[in-house]
Amino acid sequence: MLDLVAELDQIGDEIFEALGSALRSGRYILGPNVEAFEREAAEFLGARFAVGLNSGTDALVIGLRALGIRPGDEVVTTGFSFFATAEAIANVGAVPAFADIEPDTFNLDPEAVEARIGPRTRAILPVHLFGHPAAMDEIGAIAERNGLPLLEDAAQAFGARLGGRPVGSLGRAAAFSFFPSKNLGAFGDGGLLVTSDEDLARQARRLRDHGAGRDRYRSESLGYNSRLDELQAAILRVKLRRLEAFNRSRRRVADAYAERLRRNAEIATPIERPGAWHAFHQYTLRLPDRRRDPVRRRLAEAGIASAVYYPGTLAQQAPFAHLEAELPRAEQATREVLSLPIGPTLSESQISRVCDELVAALS
């Protein structure tokens, strides 16, 4: 789906140099690279603070804890995302209240959000799925009317923008993932919590280090060991400088796919809403449901990778199966979506081969 080694070939010298000096520095946890990366990422994202963490999942958990979400609270979120979105809510003891999606962007439908707000709702957690920004203006207005904080799950959307503003600066806080396949990927796990709220940033710094404040050996609450490490931060600093160029290359691939595929009546290519700048973490199209799985098999026979993100809704996952949720549009998406290979280094001839095989499989 993504050639990470080809990406490394383009930036290897800088990466190996950064790793060498980080290794020789003798500081491996919460050192100068993490500090510098936090500053550079916050500036890139238009936020005041960024806190480097172990993973995107931890960024969600720590974000929810810092917002004061407690056992028994409800958090309204999308029914169509990676498991970690809902898992984080459940792991702080809260209950995910799943809302349905907009069929064209696959993101939370603002009207469905409004309908799920109840007396126990304490936050709204939109996901910028596949790199397309969620409808933050509408969801933000609902959050404000109801006095609820917004925590963005921006794991898939580093570099995406809405109305010219980077996602990650559109709510009270945002969680990013640096899982290797992400638009900004580490060579291991990593995550980031971003906010312009100083108190929230302080809480997140405390929670990532066993709940300890200024004095390392005096914990104010239970926390986690969830620190971004120096080697990953050194890599991320190099890759952040290339991110805009890499994201533009992803769009080049997306444009080439759209050019070739949008005339086919059975393919619905991804859209970009007015004002939105899609980061194309995934290139996810829709096919008629009876066609999707046979087409996928044909592609696999031709040696072409494809993926189904996601084969089930969050409400269909075992730990959430007891929760009441009406998600007909998310369920339909699970039967129709197909993601094609995408990445900054995909060549014109690779794109052509994917398109040729896909069109042939449909004919």
Contacts with ligand PLP, residue ranges (CB under 6 A)? 55-57, 81-82, 84-85, 127, 153, 155-156, 177, 179, 189, 191
Q: How far apart are CA 202 and CA 195, in angstroms?
A: 10
Q: Which residue is nearest to ligand PLP (CB)?
A: 56
Cβ neighbours of residue 26 under 8 Å, at least 6 residues apart?
Answer: none
In whole angstroms, the minimum distance from the beta carbon of 87 to ligand PLP comes to: 9
In whole angstroms, the minimum distance from the beta carbon of 188 to ligand PLP comes to: 10
Query: With respect to ligand PLP, which residue has the nearer C-beta, 182 or 260?
Result: 182
Per the CB < 8 A criterion, the answer to whether 82 and 312 are in contact is no
Query: With respect to ligand PLP, which residue has the nearer C-beta, 166 or 355?
Result: 166
Place of tokens 């104010």: 220
Query: With respect to ligand PLP, which residue has the nearer C-beta, 108 or 142?
Result: 108
Place of tokens 């203006």: 137
In whole angstroms, the minimum distance from the beta carbon of 200 to ligand PLP comes to: 19
In whole angstroms, the minimum distance from the beta carbon of 275 to ligand PLP comes to: 22
Q: How far apart are CA 205 and CA 194, in angstroms?
A: 11
Query: With respect to ligand PLP, which residue has the nearer C-beta, 125 or 143?
Result: 125
Query: With respect to ligand PLP, which residue has the nearer C-beta, 2 or 267?
Result: 2
Strands 165-166 and 161-162, by their bridges, are antiparallel
Query: With respect to ligand PLP, which residue has the nearer C-beta, 105 or 177?
Result: 177
Question: Backbone phi, then psi, for 188, in 5-degree steps?
Answer: 165, -160
Query: With respect to ligand PLP, which residue has the nearer C-beta, 56 or 166?
Result: 56
Place of tokens 């050639």: 3
Q: How many residues belong to the chain?
A: 363
In whole angstroms, the minimum distance from the beta carbon of 327 to ligand PLP comes to: 16
In whole angstroms, the minimum distance from the beta carbon of 254 to ligand PLP comes to: 18
Exposed / middle / buried, residue 312 (Cβ in 10 Å: 0-12, 13-18, 19+): middle
In whole angstroms, the minimum distance from the beta carbon of 56 to ligand PLP comes to: 3
Q: How far apart are CA 86 and CA 106, in angstroms?
A: 16
Hey, what are 109's tokens?
């439908």
Within the chain, strands assigned E span 49-53, 74-78, 95-99, 121-125, 151-153, 161-162, 165-166, 173-177, 191-195, 276-277, 283-286, 337-340
In whole angstroms, the minimum distance from the beta carbon of 33 to ligand PLP comes to: 19
Query: With respect to ligand PLP, which residue has the nearer C-beta, 186 or 254?
Result: 186
Place of tokens 């896909």: 358
